[in-house]
A and B are shown apart, each in its own frame.
Chain A
Amino acid sequence: MPDWPGHRAGQHLDVRLTAEDGYRAQRSYSIASSPQDPMLEITVERLEDGEVSPWLAGDAQAGDELELRGPIGGYFVWAPERGGPLLLIAGGSGLVPLMCIERLRRAAAPEIASTLLISARRPEDLIYAEELRAGSAVVTYTREQPAGWTGYARRVDRDMLAEVAPPAGGRPHCYVCGPTGFVEVVAEALVDLGHHRALIKTERFGATGG
């Protein structure tokens, strides 16, 4: 992609589509691909009544043009220099930037420990399911669970975090991403468990995918 300056794990970009009559629509998407990956990848959830996602996830073909702005963000980013351990907590599509961070860690600093806790509604809603199977991510399915599931089956709460998260004394870098309500509950629970606010970074997503 011409002019692309490269990105940091956790950043997002703004996508703008222009129709023939000049009509424009814009949405934000977190970058899924690791910064080391030569191909830029974003993950788009197709919303039934969406305006942009159906085009991106359905109509777009190789060679189609769209406009990008970015990469954007310097707060919700991680690079190996920042160190670890990492605590990555994702709600729904909030998994995208955290997967980017995890992919970078695996490729560039596998010696840094990471704990990945993911909340999804149903098994079919879990993004990157194949890739996650190879790792040790903890998943909680809040609405429907797979047959024979013995894992968590409720929304992330303080008790779950107490069981899953590394101890606050280890000063993990916490990244929490997902819907606003999810992020706020999780962030407060982490503070309650002793994690310092300065080590907790949050990014709230809306239904518009940004």
Chain B
Amino acid sequence: MDETMLDGNAAAGDLQQLFAVEVTQMVGVCDGCGTSGPLAEVRTFALAPGLTLRCPACDAVLARLVHLPDRTLVELHGFRRLELLS
């Protein structure tokens, strides 16, 4: 078991800057295997040069985030889609 691995709750502070709605409840669909679930339950690897979110079912990279001194770079292309409850 990778004790350094966390979950989407740990990524929420960074991700919240992108979204107008609360992120931990947002549902993500993995583009690799199609599994869906709340972002709170994705695998988060935060002890690194950047943040990596991975699918809890297949470990595919869902998203990455890097804080540079003057900006933050984000890529989300591992999600087939995101679903926001209205």
Contacts and interface: CB of A to CB of B under 8 A. Distances in A.
Interface of A: 12, 14, 28, 69-70, 72-76, 179-181, 184, 201-208, 210
Pick the most buried of A14, A181, A204: most chain B CB atoms within 10 A of its CB.
Answer: A204
Nearest to A73: B24
B9 A204 contact: yes
B6 A70 contact: no
B9 A203 contact: yes
Contacts of B38: 75
A206 B13 contact: no
A204 B7 contact: yes
Interface string B35-75: 00011110000110000000000000000000000000000
- In the A-B complex, list the 3 residue pairs whose CB atoms are closest, starting with the nearest: A74-B22, A75-B40, A75-B24
6 contacts: A70-B13, A74-B24, A181-B3, A202-B7, A205-B6, A206-B4
B82 interface: no
Nearest to A183: B7
Nearest to B22: A74
Contacts of A205: 6
Interface of B: 1-10, 12-13, 16, 22-25, 38-41, 46-47
A69 B2 CA distance: 27
A47 to B, nearest CB: 14
A57 B59 CA distance: 37
A180 B2 contact: yes
B2 A73 contact: no
A150 to B, nearest CB: 31
Contacts of B1: 180-181, 184
Contacts of A210: 6, 10, 46
B47 to A, nearest CB: 7
Given A74-B22, A75-B25, A76-B24, A12 B6 contact: no
B31 to A, nearest CB: 22
Pick the most buried of B1, B6, B38: most chain A CB atoms within 10 A of its CB.
Answer: B6
A168 B43 CA distance: 27
Contacts of A201: 40
Pick the most buried of B9, B13, B16, B23: most chain A CB atoms within 10 A of its CB.
Answer: B9
A35 B7 CA distance: 24
Contacts of B12: 72-73
Nearest to A10: B9
B47 A75 contact: no
Given A181-B1, A202-B40, A210-B10, 10 more contacts: A69-B13, A69-B16, A73-B24, A73-B40, A75-B9, A76-B9, A202-B7, A204-B10, A206-B3, A207-B3
